[in-house]
Structure 1
Amino acid sequence: MKSRPAAVKARGVNQAFILGAGLGNRLRPLTGRLPKPLVPLFHRPLAEWAMEACRRAGITRFAINTHHLPEAWNGFGVGTDVTLFHEPVLLETGGGLKNIGSWMGGDPLLVHNGDIFSTLPLEKLIAAHKASGLPVTLALRSEGTARHIAIDPSGSRITDIRNNLGIADGTHVFSGIYCVNPEFLDLIPPGEKISVIPAFLELAKAGQLAAVVLDEGVWLDLGDRDSYLQAHRELDLAPAIHPEATVEPGACVERTAIGPGAVIETGAVVRDSVVWPGGRVTSSAVLDRCIVFSENPAGGSHRDADL
């Protein structure tokens, strides 16, 4: 790996890469209509929430990779410094990062998974990365179901991932958010569909993969249906019923998010559900734990259904 000039070590991070090219298989059929990062959370695309989190840490410049339904990104980020990188062939996390190398230039970069919602103090990740002087710093959580990251006693270095190096199974969760310096891209082969994990393991083996544990704030992986519904039950990010939604007199709406332009007709019963912008729920509907995502009116009795 190329040595990094001392001047680069002192730089902050003012640019971010939002990973938006995944197929979103765990959220189908919702992602048959929109790419996963454009799925609405409290009436705003997930990618917008990710960008807002980055802005709170001082980031103003963004790259987003696209693959599935690229036309859905048209008009996204108007008024923001956003560059889209379309991948006709999905490059995965490593190949996608390599693909934006010329845009990244000589400055460090924050990478944020497009299906993550968090209020993590990303400024602490940036500060830890700057202080470490290492090529990559991963933001970790102590609690969660996928504890695949092993760290050293100081908590500042990652020693193994999923026990691939035969050192440890892991005690911490990777948040899907990390900082990289430009020279990290030297570890990723050009023009290949490849995960970023092999390069992470190469650094970990050399004692060069930094970590910071960020247990403050909310962190949610919204890549599956249950997590998506749970987020709408537990978070309080905006009024559940958008001001531009219409709930007709005589409709029963409980613990449900209703997007702009949506209509809930008289007589409908909707509980613990999400109705996307422009959705329509007819008077015959009784919906429990449903997601109304299509352009077709939703009627009849349904539970745990995507309509």
Structure 2
Amino acid sequence: MATSPRHHRLRHPHAVSTVANAPTVRFVIPSEVEESLDFLLVNHITQAFVLAAGLGTRLRPLTEEVPKPLIPIFQKPLVTFALDHLINAGVNRFVVNTHRHPELFQTFFARHEYAGFPVTLVHEPELLETGGGIKNVEGILGKEPFIVYSGDILTDVALEPLIAEHFRAGNEVTLGLRRNTGLGAGVVVRAGRIVEISKEYNPKENFDYANISIWNQEIFNRIPARQKISFIPVLIDWIQDGGRIGGVALDDGNWFNIGSRKEYLDVHRAILNKDWRPAYLKTRDWAEPVAKSAYVDPTAQLHGCTVVGPDCRIGAEAILEDTILWPDAEIASQTRLEACIVRSRKKVSGVHRNIDI
């Protein structure tokens, strides 16, 4: 993440002007805001850009055959948690970027929809990073505000405060922030405005970026076309130019970054041990340790946080502990697995510990 060369304290205007379109309607607007009032009439967001083009390097070999946003969390693809969360917040159309294995996204979204809401896939043959990715979908997102949501997190933080503050403050960008995410960023907030972004994280004063944010169309004017660029340096320059870049703490609920095998195993343990289920999920049987279509021999033993995906087969006297099986995995009789992740259609025998197969 780029580092801001200096602190930049934003000026907070005190003067306000009022505009009334009707006797019962009154707007209070910072005097420096020169945008049309139509923008301020909007109090909800109906579109989102879901980032799903990452390489998933730290999760290899798990991501060699399946892109990280499609890896299963208790048999449910990771990216669908983002979509369910956004639908619950009022979003009704999605843009999803892809890079590795785009055909798997095409198969999963074969009807170009999710839960009845339209999904537009945008393939990036060459990675554009977050800023370039946003610019690349300008023609689809148009002039309305939109949410950017990372497809490799799993969270149930409340999105409503983020959306409400974006419009209340008249921000051009509002970042969702959180402490102790492990991402190592340093975002300094003063009176609701972000004044610095750096790599020098101080948990007593700074926040991490929570990988959820809201953007207005102005961002498209600040990102060069067809260029690979993170949005972080774009925001740093914008802050220095006096841009209205806000931040809202999203410290409620659970927040998981699925970036490594440890984090992948940890999120399964948290879900199982804490009996955690995001309130926005509609699927009744989610988080079943053993899928209904799986076969487990009566003499096999499953211990700890062991998850068995659909159509898996576990042979006689096999012992699995803290192990996750993706769909169609086959475990031979008398196999011993501890803290392993077995990918789809893999056949495993013998004794293994702490490996991905």
Question: What is the TM-score with the length of structure 1 in the denominator?
Answer: 0.93
Once the two structures are TM-superposed, the CA of residue 147 in structure 1 deviates from its matched residue by 4.7
Equivalent in the alignment of 1:110: 147
Q: Distance in 2 between matches of 1:101 and 1:257?
A: 40
1:137-171, CA deviations, whole angstroms, 9 ceiling, x for partnerless residues?
A: 000112333452333342x111111169xxx9961
Equivalent in the alignment of 1:15: 47
Once the two structures are TM-superposed, the CA of residue 243 in structure 1 deviates from its matched residue by 1.7
Kept in 2: contact 1:161–1:170 (CA 8 A):
no
Q: Distance in 2 between matches of 1:105 and 1:191?
A: 17
1:276-297, CA deviations, whole angstroms, 9 ceiling, x for partnerless residues?
A: 1111111131111100014220
Equivalent in the alignment of 1:127: 164
Equivalent in the alignment of 1:230: 266
Q: Which has the larger Rg? A: 2
Equivalent in the alignment of 2:255: 219
Does structure 1 residue 37 correspond to structure 2 residue 69? yes
Equivalent in the alignment of 2:102: 70
Kept in 1: contact 2:324–2:342 (CA 8 A):
yes
Equivalent in the alignment of 1:174: 209
Equivalent in the alignment of 1:193: 228
Q: Give the stretch that moved more between structures: 105-114 or 280-289.
A: 280-289
Equivalent in the alignment of 2:6: none
Describe the shift of the 1:29–1:4 C-alpha distance in structure 2 as closer, same or farther (beyond 3 A): farther
**What's the secondary structure of 1:16's corresponding residue?**
strand
In structure 2, which of residues 281, 298, 304 is the aligned counterpart of residue 249 of structure 1? Answer: 298
Equivalent in the alignment of 2:35: 4
Equivalent in the alignment of 2:352: 302
Q: Distance in 2 between matches of 1:3 and 1:289?
A: 57
Q: Distance in 2 between matches of 1:274 and 1:9?
A: 48
**What's the secondary structure of 1:174's corresponding residue?**
strand
Give % identity: 38
Within a 5 Å distance, the mapping from 1:92-171 to structure 2 comes to 92-154=129-191, 156-162=192-198, 171=206
Equivalent in the alignment of 1:280: 330
Q: Distance in 1 between matches of 2:296 and 2:314?
A: 5
Q: Which residue type is aligned with residue 298 of structure 2?
A: P
In structure 1, which of residues 15, 34, 46 is the aligned counterpart of residue 78 of structure 2? Answer: 46
Q: Distance in 2 between matches of 1:194 and 1:258?
A: 40
Kept in 2: contact 1:262–1:277 (CA 8 A):
yes
Kept in 1: contact 2:52–2:69 (CA 8 A):
yes
Q: Distance in 2 between matches of 1:202 and 1:3?
A: 20
Kept in 1: contact 2:98–2:122 (CA 8 A):
yes
**What's the secondary structure of 2:267's corresponding residue?**
helix
Q: Distance in 1 between matches of 2:147 and 2:318?
A: 45
In structure 1, which of residues 222, 235, 239 is the aligned counterpart of residue 288 of structure 2? Answer: 239
1:81-116, CA deviations, whole angstroms, 9 ceiling, x for partnerless residues?
A: 100000111111111110110110111100111110
Q: Give the stretch that moved more between structures: 168-177 or 130-139.
A: 168-177
Describe the shift of the 1:134–1:153 C-alpha distance in structure 2 as closer, same or farther (beyond 3 A): closer
Does structure 1 residue 61 correspond to structure 2 residue 97? no
Q: Distance in 1 between matches of 2:204 and 2:128?
A: 27
**What's the secondary structure of 1:31's corresponding residue?**
coil
Q: Which residue type is aligned with residue 186 of structure 1?
A: N
In structure 2, which of residues 310, 317, 335 is the aligned counterpart of residue 260 of structure 1? Answer: 310
Once the two structures are TM-superposed, the CA of residue 3 in structure 1 deviates from its matched residue by 5.5
Q: Distance in 2 between matches of 1:191 and 1:289?
A: 43
Q: Which residue type is aligned with residue 131 of structure 1?
A: R
Kept in 2: contact 1:19–1:111 (CA 8 A):
yes
Describe the shift of the 1:290–1:3 C-alpha distance in structure 2 as closer, same or farther (beyond 3 A): farther
1:257-281, CA deviations, whole angstroms, 9 ceiling, x for partnerless residues?
A: 1111111112111111111111111
Q: Distance in 1 between matches of 2:56 and 2:34?
A: 37
Kept in 1: contact 2:325–2:344 (CA 8 A):
no
1:206-226, CA deviations, whole angstroms, 9 ceiling, x for partnerless residues?
A: 252100001111101001110
Describe the shift of the 1:207–1:192 C-alpha distance in structure 2 as closer, same or farther (beyond 3 A): closer
Kept in 2: contact 1:147–1:171 (CA 8 A):
no
Once the two structures are TM-superposed, the CA of residue 133 in structure 1 deviates from its matched residue by 1.0
Q: Which residue type is aligned with residue 84 of structure 2?
A: E
CA RMSD of aligned residues (A): 2.0
Question: What is the TM-score with the length of structure 2 in the denominator?
Answer: 0.81
Equivalent in the alignment of 1:88: 125
Q: Distance in 1 between matches of 2:184 and 2:226?
A: 31
Kept in 1: contact 2:187–2:209 (CA 8 A):
no
